[in-house]
């Protein structure tokens, strides 16, 4: 049997991670959740992440900094998508420069989110 | 100008009058006293002004924070409701689906209002920046009209889009211009009763040696009395709160629209009479193709 894709959701809101966990678990993925940069790095140390959905504002710093840390430890996810509150061009540019494949504005319609994640994990 | 400088200005003016034979010598004391009083009043006014500015900045920050804090639970509500609606947790009856669809609709509406408050707060704090790119206004108008089509049909209205051929491209912030068109068309639809008509017309006009693109968004709706024309662009002001509330307005839409148009070098105004519909216009300068 083919392994289920592993999704890491990084967001400091338990309400948001709870909703996304249900969405991805119920559609055939394994899900990990991290509320801080430190936790996200620890999850990626422990297993291979296919897709990371990354909030930009985390309690212990700028969400995007997690990418550089993971890169240095060779634990960077295959695909990272930023989840932001607003789609401002300067934010989008910062995300792309940091290595994000996509910048998605919360709340992302679930049909779109599932379509993107399926595409990335195909 | 500092209060001290203004105080010196008053002193000079007085020194002219008490040298005049028309004024007795003992008026010097009175004049000096008045100058002191004025200086004190000016100092006080400057202090109050500084305090008000600082409170205004706090209010703006508060609005930005509250908007962010509202978006997070709304994101969770909408995502959970969409999971239910799409049957990811099992099939729903038609009534259950309708109910969940209402939760999503209400949630998205709230999200839009929160977004508007945030845009307003950023505008008030001069934190809105323009990211210009070259685009055709006709594409923006067509996109916004298409998005509003279902609402137009639902309300029993008709919509038309009229574009003068050969309108040149603009260099402006496309997202902000889209927001303005969307706001004006949304208002036109909201304030026009069933059976009415809304339209968008795009033309080119020359204005003091420059070429401008002009967008008109009109309707056959309830209209606005001329004495209220300035009021509609003022923040939190509502000409008549009752219909506005019926249409779920934050009272900020046109304030934001004006700010965005002006940020992009344009102008916005309206022509309307009570009961005779409204025509909102805005212009934007045409980009230099070089």
- Which pLDDT score, from 0 to 100, does residue B15 have? 43
Beta strand residue intervals within B197-266, DSSP E: 197-207, 210-219
The whole-model pTM stands at 0.67
Closest CA of chain A from B185, distance in Å: 22
* pLDDT at residue number A2: 63
Answer whether A16 sits within 8 Å of B75, measured CB to CB: yes
Q: Are the beta carbons of B82 and A110 separated by less than 8 Å?
A: yes
- Asked if the Cβ–Cβ distance from B79 to A90 is below 8 Å, we say no
Identify all chain B residues contacting A16, using CB atoms and an 8 Å cutoff: 72, 75-76, 79
- Which value does ipTM take for this structure? 0.90
Q: Which of A26, A85, A110 sits opposite B71 (nearest CB)?
A: A85
**Cα of B158 vs its chain's centroid, Å:** 26
* DSSP result, B14-82: HHHHHTSTTS-TTHHHHHHHHHHHHHHHHHHHHHHHHHHHHHHHHHHHHHHHHHHHHHHHHHHHHHHHH
pLDDT tens for each residue of A82-120: 998 776 777 888 999 999 999 998 889 999 999 999 999
Which residues of A are less than 8 Å from B111 in CB distance? 107
The CA distance from B206 to the nearest CA of chain A, in Å, is 31
The closest of B92, B80, B99 to A22, measured between CA atoms, is: B80
Pick from A20, A87, A106: CB nearest B71: A106
Distance from C-alpha of A64 to C-alpha of A82, rounded to nearest angstrom: 8
Give chain A positions within 8 Å (CB) of B89: 22, 26
Chain B closest-CA separation from residue A16 CA (Å): 5
pLDDT in tens, A52-78: 999 998 999 999 999 999 999 999 999
The partner residue sitting opposite B82, judged by closest CB among A27, A85, A109, is: A109
Out of B71, B76, B111, the one facing A18 most closely (by C-beta) is B76
pLDDT for res B26: 62
CA distance A10 to chain B (A): 14
How far apart (Å, rounded) are the C-alpha atoms in residues B6 and B3?
A: 5
Output the CA torsion B142→B143→B149→B151 (10° steps): -130
Å between A6 CA and nearest CA of chain B:
19
Contact with chain B for residue A25, Cβ under 8 A: no
The tens digit of pLDDT for each residue in A3-25 reads 899 999 999 999 999 999 999 99
Max distance between CA atoms of chain A, in angstroms, equals: 43
Preferred mutation among B67, B70, B72, B177 to probe A, highest tally of A CBs within 10 A: B72
For residue B178, what pLDDT is reported?
Answer: 92
A105 touches chain B (CB under 8 A): no
Two structure tokens written together for B275? 């009961």
Tens of each residue's pLDDT in chain B, 290 residues: 444 444 444 444 444 444 445 555 566 778 889 999 999 999 999 999 999 888 888 887 787 777 778 888 999 999 999 999 999 999 999 999 999 999 998 898 888 888 888 788 777 777 788 888 889 999 999 989 998 888 899 899 999 999 998 899 999 998 899 999 999 999 999 999 999 999 999 999 886 778 899 999 999 999 988 888 888 888 766 665 554 444 555 678 898 899 999 999 999 999 998 888 999 999 999 875 43
Chain B hits for A23, CB-CB cut-off 8 Å, are: 79, 83, 88
């Amino acid at each position: 049997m083919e392994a289920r894709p592993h999704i890491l959701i990084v967001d400091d809101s338990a309400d948001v991670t709870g909703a996304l966990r249900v969405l991805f678990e119920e559609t055939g993925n394994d899900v990990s959740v991290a509320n801080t940069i430190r936790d996200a790095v620890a999850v990626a140390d422990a297993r291979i992440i296919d897709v990371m959905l990354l909030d930009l504002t985390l309690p212990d710093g700028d969400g995007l900094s997690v990418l550089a840390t993971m890169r240095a430890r060779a634990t960077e996810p295959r695909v990272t998508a930023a989840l932001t509150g607003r789609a401002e061009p300067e934010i989008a540019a910062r995300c792309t420069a940091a290595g994000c494949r996509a910048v998605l504005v919360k709340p992302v319609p679930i049909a779109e989110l599932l379509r993107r994640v399926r595409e990335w994990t195909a | 100008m500092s209060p001290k400088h203004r105080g010196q200005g008053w002193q000079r003016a007085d020194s002219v009058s008490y040298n005049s034979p028309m004024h007795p010598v003992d008026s010097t004391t009175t004049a000096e006293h008045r100058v002191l009083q004025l200086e004190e009043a000016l100092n006080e006014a400057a202090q109050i002004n500084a305090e008000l500015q600082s409170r205004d900045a706090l209010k703006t920050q508060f609005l930005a924070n509250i908007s962010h804090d509202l978006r997070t639970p709304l994101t969770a509500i909408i995502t959970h409701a969409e999971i239910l609606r799409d049957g990811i947790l099992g099939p729903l009856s038609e009534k259950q689906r309708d109910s969940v669809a209402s939760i999503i609709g209400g949630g998205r509406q709230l999200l839009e209002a929160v977004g508007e408050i945030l845009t307003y707060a950023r505008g008030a704090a001069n934190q809105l920046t323009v990211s210009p790119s070259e685009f055709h206004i006709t594409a923006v108008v067509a996109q916004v009209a298409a998005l509003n089509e279902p609402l137009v049909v639902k309300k029993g209205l008709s919509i038309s889009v009229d574009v003068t051929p050969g309108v040149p491209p603009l260099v402006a912030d496309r997202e902000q211009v889209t927001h303005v068109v969307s706001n004006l068309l949304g208002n036109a639809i909201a304030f026009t009763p069933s059976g009415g008509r809304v339209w968008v017309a795009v033309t080119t006009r020359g204005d003091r040696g420059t070429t401008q693109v002009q967008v008109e968004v009109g309707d056959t709706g309830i209209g606005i009395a001329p004495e209220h024309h300035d009021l509609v662009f003022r923040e939190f002001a509502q000409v008549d709160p009752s219909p506005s509330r019926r249409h779920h307005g934050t009272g900020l839409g046109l304030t934001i629209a004006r700010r965005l148009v002006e940020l992009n070098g344009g102008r916005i105004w309206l022509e309307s009479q009570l009961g005779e519909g409204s025509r909102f216009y805005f212009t934007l300068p045409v980009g230099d193709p070089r």
